[in-house]
A and B are shown apart, each in its own frame.
Chain A
Amino acid sequence: MTLSLSAAGLTKVYDGRAVVDGLDFAFQRGKVHAVIGPNGSGKSTLLRLLSLLDPPTRGTVLLHDGEDPVEANTSVRRRMAFVFQRPSLFNTTVLKNVETGLAIRGCPKRERSDLARAALRQVEMEKLGERNGRTLSGGESQRVALARALVVEPEILFLDEPTANLDPHSVRIIGKAIEKLRDGGRTTILLVTHNMFLAQRLADRVVFLFDGRIAEEGEASAVIERPQDERTFRFLTGELAG
Chain B
Amino acid sequence: MQEMTSSLVRAFELLISLDPVLYGIIFLSLQVSGLAVIAAAALGVPAGAGLALVRFPGREAVVSLLNTFMGLPPVVVGLVVYLILSRSGPMGFLGFLYSPTAMIAAQTVLAFPIVAALTHAGIASVDPIVKDAIRSLGATTSQAARLIVSEARYAILAAVIAGYGRAAAEVGAVLMVGGNVEGYTRVMTTAIALETSRGDFELALALGIVLLFLSLVVNLALRAVQKRGALLR
Contacts and interface: CB of A to CB of B under 8 A. Distances in A.
Interface of A: 51, 53, 74-75, 77-82, 84, 86-92, 100-101, 104-105, 132, 134-135, 145, 148, 152, 158
Interface in B116-156: 127, 129-130, 132-140, 143, 147, 150-151, 153-154
A81 B233 contact: no
Contacts of A84: 129, 132-133, 136
A112 B150 CA distance: 19
A48 B25 CA distance: 60
Size bracket, chain B contacts: 20 to 34
Given A86-B129, A88-B132, A91-B154, 11 more contacts: A53-B132, A53-B135, A77-B136, A78-B138, A88-B130, A89-B130, A90-B130, A90-B147, A90-B150, A90-B151, A104-B140
A200 B133 CA distance: 28
11 contacts: A51-B136, A74-B138, A74-B140, A77-B136, A77-B138, A78-B137, A88-B133, A91-B151, A91-B154, A100-B137, A104-B139
Interface in B202-233: 231-233
A74 B135 CA distance: 8
A74 B139 CA distance: 7
A87 B135 CA distance: 15
Nearest to B133: A88
Nearest to B141: A74
A88 B140 CA distance: 19
Nearest to B135: A53
A74 B15 CA distance: 61
Contact of B231 (A51, A78, A134, A148): A134
A134 B232 CA distance: 5
Contacts, number: 70
B136 A82 contact: yes
Given A86-B129, A88-B129, A90-B130, A104 B136 contact: no
Nearest to A102: B137
Contacts of B132: 53, 82, 84, 88
A51 B137 CA distance: 11
A104 B129 contact: no
Nearest to B131: A88
Contacts of A88: 127, 129-130, 132-133
Contact of A104 (B130, B143, B231, B232): B143
Given A74-B138, A90-B151, A101-B138, A135 B231 contact: yes
B124 to A, nearest CB: 16
A135 B135 contact: no
**Residue of B127, B133, B135, B154 most packed against chain A (CB within 10 A):** B133
Contacts of A104: 137-140, 143
Contacts of B153: 91
A86 B231 CA distance: 18
A134 B137 CA distance: 18
Contacts of B139: 74, 104
B129 to A, nearest CB: 4
Contact of A132 (B130, B136, B147, B232): B232
A158 B136 CA distance: 10
Nearest to B151: A91
